[in-house]
A and B are shown apart, each in its own frame.
Chain A
């Protein structure tokens, strides 16, 4: 097979309508960037899942981050995506304007360097992310321990995608196959999807981020469905090993343990969060019990967008009351949120 043959097949597909969910926000962005929908039959519907850790972060977490950053001699380091997410009384960006000390980071290691350079300050890390990012916080913590730092705290909202995918399989009907997240799978390994494919009898195929990767994965899933198969497959072998990255997994295991976490739109999912282990509790910046979530306006349909029940453009607020410059729902805030991606590419 080559690209042209795959595109011809997908464009001319006239079998039963199929609905495929991409779980990763970076895939959602790549599908737009590469015009994938224009290359495939309208009978193959691509829907976006809960693929952005920022979008599923409850309001109470933002409030806690702001509270931390407003304390005397405290500085909070956060990724850029986090700054505009609304808490119950505004965002980190607004808090920064009011005098809270919030700095942008490219890596959690930036915050470790700041803590080492400024022992007079308490440095916080707004530690948000999925399996891809969790080991980078472990690396940062290991370095902080090695340097003997006592002025570093992690305010965590870390989540594992697998319990969320399982939640979707249990609670959402009509999704025929999953385009599995490439960089999460770098850490977890593609074998992790084998049990899912067997249990839920749907194809789970790991994808890279180029247009060709996505076309190949869509083709693979549609072919499996046509043949009545439901297999897990890794079509990103250049970066993803079947067993994942053992060093990264060991780092996660050493410093973090699983616990219940609240996902915006989905509610509490057992064992879907990751928290610092008790023995590293002195590095925790108040990450527990941050479950309260904002009461969104009645017409906001973020919760349905996150599970792929509707497309962002089906929400009555999309592009009207809710835009990237004035977002209501978190899906519109983050660069990788479904609504933000749809807005930037369709309006």
Chain B
């Protein structure tokens, strides 16, 4: 139920943005986030709930640098 999908903001009109999910464009409400064209947002139930900090590939590389080395 809490599934949220990342998509890229294509255009913004007031509180509504057009967001591209791998090429499929859908409208999403952006009242909860600081929306900017070109940024990635997590969209849940028609609303962007957060702006993603960076692209996912880089994030997964950074993720493992967070972990302790095995001693």
Contacts and interface: CB of A to CB of B under 8 A. Distances in A.
A347 interface: no
Given A106-B45, A210-B56, A238-B56, A184 B2 contact: yes
A3 B60 CA distance: 9
Nearest to A4: B64
B50 A6 contact: no
Contacts of A253: none
A53 B2 CA distance: 9
Q: Which 3 A-B pairs have the closest CB atoms?
A: A107-B46, A132-B2, A238-B59
Contact of B4 (A129, A132, A238): A132
Contacts of A139: 29, 31-32, 47
A117 interface: no
Nearest to B68: A223
5 contacts: A129-B2, A130-B1, A132-B44, A136-B44, A239-B50
A1 to B, nearest CB: 4
Interface string A101-115: 000001111100000
A183 B2 CA distance: 6
Contact of B63 (A9, A107, A235): A235
Interface stretch (A163-171, A243-251, A309-317): A243-251
B65 interface: yes
A26 B3 contact: yes
Nearest to B50: A186
Given A183-B2, A238-B59, A248 B49 contact: yes
Contacts of B49: 132, 135-136, 183, 186-187, 245, 248
Given A132-B44, A135-B32, A142-B31, A181 B67 contact: no
A141 to B, nearest CB: 12
A241 B49 CA distance: 12
Contacts of B52: 238-239
Contacts of A109: 29, 46-47
Contacts of B4: 132, 183, 186, 239
B65 to A, nearest CB: 7
A212 B33 contact: no
B2 A26 contact: yes
Interface residues of A, number: 53
Contact of B60 (A110, A129, A212, A247): A212
Which of A5, A26, A81, A136 is packed against the most chain B CB atoms within 10 Å?
A: A136
Given A6-B64, A24-B2, A248-B49, A133 B42 contact: no
A210 B60 contact: yes
Main secondary structure of the interface of B (DSSP, over half): loop
A216 interface: yes
A150 to B, nearest CB: 22
Contact of A219 (B46, B54, B59, B67): B67
Contacts of A336: 1-3
A79 interface: yes
Contacts of B54: 238
Nearest to B59: A238
B45 to A, nearest CB: 5
B16 to A, nearest CB: 9
Contacts of A81: 1
Given A186-B49, A223-B67, A241-B50, 7 more contacts: A1-B65, A26-B2, A108-B45, A129-B45, A183-B4, A216-B63, A245-B49
A245 B50 contact: yes
A1 B67 contact: yes
Contact of A251 (B3, B32, B53, B63): B32
Contact of A106 (B46, B63, B66, B69): B46
A129 B1 contact: yes
A240 B65 CA distance: 17
A239 B66 contact: no
A57 B67 CA distance: 37
